[in-house]
Amino acid sequence: MIKRLLFFGVLCVLMALPGLPAQNVSSIVGDTFEETAGSGLAIFTKPPGVTVFIDGVERGQTPFSINTLALGEHTIRLRKSGYRGRRFRVTLSGKSRLSVSIEMEPAAGLVQVNIQRAEGSPADLPLEPIIDGGGGEVGANIFNLPIGLRTIRVRAFGWEEVSQRVFVREHYPARVDIIMKPAVFALTAGTVSRRRFNPKNPGALGINEFRFNVSAPGYARARVRDESGKEVYSRRFDSFTTWSQGGAWNGRDYSGEPLPEGRYIISIQGAGTADNAGLDDAGTFKDIVLETWIDYSLDIFPLTLTGGIPGLLFAPVPAALPAGSFQIEAALFFGSFSAPERSVLQAADKAFSLLPFEAGLRFSPVDRFELSAAFNMNPGFGDGDDAGGESWGFSGSAKYVFLKGSVPLEMAAGISYAWAQSGGEVPLGAGRGGGLYLPMSLNAGMMKVIFSPGLRWPGPDDPIPRLLLSAGALFRWNWLTVGLSLRPELDFSTAGDRAGVSFAEKTRALYGAEIKLYPPPSNLVYTFSGGVWQRGSSTGGFGGIGIGLLY
């Protein structure tokens, strides 16, 4: 019986839609009629807020429900401004509740856009219009738009933009006549990608991009001048065919040599071609003036983010990124490891029983201040204590560079914190807990000599801090850095399994080497690393590969 009633209700819907062709019903997606336990009628629509009429009487808005409607057949009409009206019949039997879901179809009408050139327009000026009316194009310059007052916007390179209002009705196609006039040549919206930049930074980090818009075909020349007015760089732009234009300057002169620090003016002069002579004299120049600074203190180079502390593998570095810059790095290590909190009774994992992974981020919200964070995971593949599974942790640090500039000595102060599950410490990191570190470097040309003393507190169960004495050397070339570092970790703790163990057996020392490649023009950084460690009488070695992004 219920199936018969459902079939009859759906049949009534399909037969009782006056004024709407059958294909309109089939094009509306989401209409359902469902009988459920209970009694009465419920109507849901997409969108909600549709006015419901039952047998010609307004009863409310969707979502709508009524339990007191008389049994038998009723005519339902739905109405909402901007949508096509719906009308159908339902039959209530009293043995079930009829739930109706209707997806309303926006009411729309056709608009034909007729585009013509203004009288006297150059015949050889291309006219390729872009028409935006807020609806879909259903034919050559014919659009199906929602009913109501609409704006037709027409753009074409080399022509003035035209907007025209039209009232769209559902069953009455409208026509809009657009007269296009050639545009006056203009240069607008000049910008530079970096207000300050360092030409010696690698790849795209040592380049300043400038952009501007043009309104019509023409040509332009960009000139860069120093504070004395001397021209140090120029570039010509020919035959504009679209609005957006741009170029790049690497902060170097015509011979390719980096220019001195200071303020530089980028002047862009352009003029329209003869196509626009009727509205603007051909050869009359328009100007945009932009400003940028060369600043060699904005030193950007990649660091390793082991344990959430940026630096070399085992030595924090006092350098900080310029404000707005960031680095992302992911690395995978393999070999034999001795985790910071590993029991001295079993100082090392079995070789290749772990495949540690680490992903980190460093960024500078303001100059000289840098934040870093890292997530690590240690998948296990061995037997027994090294059985497969994943332990993980996270770490982070904050650093402020308080000495930098006129002297070759650079110094910073930093704090760090690391948390990890059991077995989830970063094998090459300093370990769980909070830490303080004081990195300093002596800069001599392409080389930095680094020393970074630090303290680490594992936690309340072991209050005696570990003393970390990190040191290293960093060698930099144009798109290559090589680092050597070491970190002796002096453990004075007598808590837990460290009670009664000699100082030499508790001391861990790590030695590492790394190479970072960041060839232009990409901002990608490729890392290759390796090293050895020693803990008491135990030793091991490891290697690693990584990839990152520096911006």
- Structural domain includes residue 301: no
Same structural domain for residues 421 and 462? yes
Q: CATH number, domain at 393?
A: 2.40.160.40
In one letter, which amino acid is 139? Answer: G
Same structural domain for residues 401 and 328? yes
**Under 8 Å between Cβ of 294 and 206:** no
Q: What is the pLDDT of residues 406-444, one digit of tens each?
A: 678 999 999 999 999 887 888 898 888 999 999 999 988
Same structural domain for residues 259 and 346? no
Same structural domain for residues 52 and 160? no
Examine the pLDDT at 195 and tell me if it is beyond 60.
yes
- Structural domain includes residue 299: no
Q: Among 294, 326, 355, where does a domain finish? A: 294
Same structural domain for residues 281 and 325? no
105 versus 204: which is more confidently predicted?
105
Same structural domain for residues 444 and 363? yes
β-strands 51-54, 32-36: how paired?
unpaired
Same structural domain for residues 439 and 424? yes
What was the pLDDT predicted at 502?
Answer: 78
Q: How confident is the model at residue 346 (pLDDT cuts 50, 70, 90)?
A: low
- DSSP-derived secondary structure letter, 127: -
Same structural domain for residues 282 and 367? no
What's the domain range around 10? 2-103
- Structural domain includes residue 52: yes
What was the pLDDT predicted at 515?
Answer: 97
Tokens of 166: 């039209």
Distances (CA, A) of 162 to 60, 136, 176, 359: 43, 19, 11, 51
What was the pLDDT predicted at 76?
Answer: 94
Q: Among 180, 213, 229, where does a domain finish? A: 180
Tokens of 499: 């009670």
Examine the pLDDT at 485 and tell me if it is beyond 70.
yes
Same structural domain for residues 116 and 136? yes
**Under 8 Å between Cβ of 5 and 93:** yes
CA-wise closest residue to 114 among 179, 183, 168: 179
**Under 8 Å between Cβ of 547 and 528:** no
Same structural domain for residues 364 and 476? yes
Same structural domain for residues 459 and 526? yes
Tokens of 39: 């009694």
Q: What is the pLDDT of residues 226-280, one digit of tens each?
A: 999 999 999 999 889 999 999 999 999 999 899 999 999 999 999 888 544 433 4
- Structural domain includes residue 300: no
Say whether pTM exceeds 0.85.
no
**Under 8 Å between Cβ of 41 and 34:** no
How many domains would you assign to the chain? Answer: 4
Q: Among 162, 180, 198, where does a domain finish? A: 180
What was the pLDDT predicted at 378?
Answer: 87
Q: What is the pLDDT of residues 285-339, one digit of tens each?
A: 788 999 999 998 888 899 999 999 999 999 999 999 988 889 999 999 999 888 7
